[in-house]
Structure 1
Amino acid sequence: MAVEKINKLLALPKGWDGHRAEPVTIEAGIAMLSVLFSVMERRSLQPQLFPLASGGIQVEWHVSGSSIEIEVAADGHSGCALADGGEEAEMEFGIPILRDELAEFRRILMRFSTQAGRSSAR
């Protein structure tokens, strides 16, 4: 599902926002796929993907007042923002994601996925 979404973002033309937005770069697409394949599991909550006017891609997960946002710049550099209720934390990571960063991110994403499953069961 994420692959199709990223392919659609890669097809956006220059000015896709009605102004001066750059097309999403292949570097951003490859880096985002690498991030998603690294952190997601089959039962993970599906993310929302958005193009950035600079040519990058942003991915988001939102559950019960908490959120995870990952931004991949046009050059493929990545950063992550985690907000749990009102508490925020930011981290930057390279591609490939380091093992410790990956373990922490997977733990948080699985907690989100579990919370989303409980919310939809109600």
Structure 2
Amino acid sequence: MNAQPDFTTAFQDEIPNYRAVTDGISSLSARGARVRVTHPRSAWVNELEERFDVLTSLRRGWDGYAGVPVSFTCAQFAANLIERLYTRALPAPQLVPMANGTMRLEWHMNEFDVEVDVLGPYDVVAYRADLLNDSEDEIEIQTDFTELSEWIAALATERVELQEQAGG
């Protein structure tokens, strides 16, 4: 007997690839074409995978006080952010746990210090110090990471000429 239930799951009709229960088990069309969405992983994410595991597995009090491990959601968003910021011209950032379960990404090179506090998904505060020009910037980011991406690109820029002009 092939009895079909008289109910459907909530929002089924809003799912574009949902087919009625009378269809076969496969959602593939008759031609059998398959489209796969891969999750590319940058060299940075591959390099930092073990560090993410360590930071999310820290014991309570890891800092000698009441530090908690980095939350999984914070680490997952940080990994996605790192994936989007990736450039072959730079080394991976340093991952630093914060006592409250958040984390920081750090780069210190080419006379720049860039620190990115990942407080949670779409809740980021970034700080940049330009050591050549003795200037500092801070941005709070929820959705548009363009400026942060530009900061990371600037990290990859050799600033020899600027160092010579500054007398360095």
Give the TM-score range, shorter chain.
0.7 to 0.9
**Distance in 1 of aligned mates of 2:148 and 2:127:** 14
1:35 aligns with 2:81: yes
- When the two structures are aligned, how many residues end up with a matched partner? 110
Structure ranking higher in strand proportion: 1
Q: Which of 123, 127, 140 is equivalent to 1:81?
A: 127
TM-score, structure 1 normalization: 0.78
Structure 2: any 5+ residue segments left out of the alignment? 1-46, 160-168
TM-score (norm 2): 0.58
Structure with the bigger RCO (C-alpha within 8 Å, sep 6+) is: 1
Question: Which range moved further: 85-94 or 102-111?
Answer: 102-111
- Matching residue of 2:71: 25
- 1:102-113 correspondence to structure 2 within 5 Å: 103-111=149-157
Name the CA shift for 1:103/1:69 in 2 (closer, same or farther; >3 Å).
Answer: closer
CA RMSD of aligned residues (A): 1.9
Instruction: Report the structure number with the largest CA radius of gyration.
Output: 2
Percent of matched pairs sharing the same residue: 27
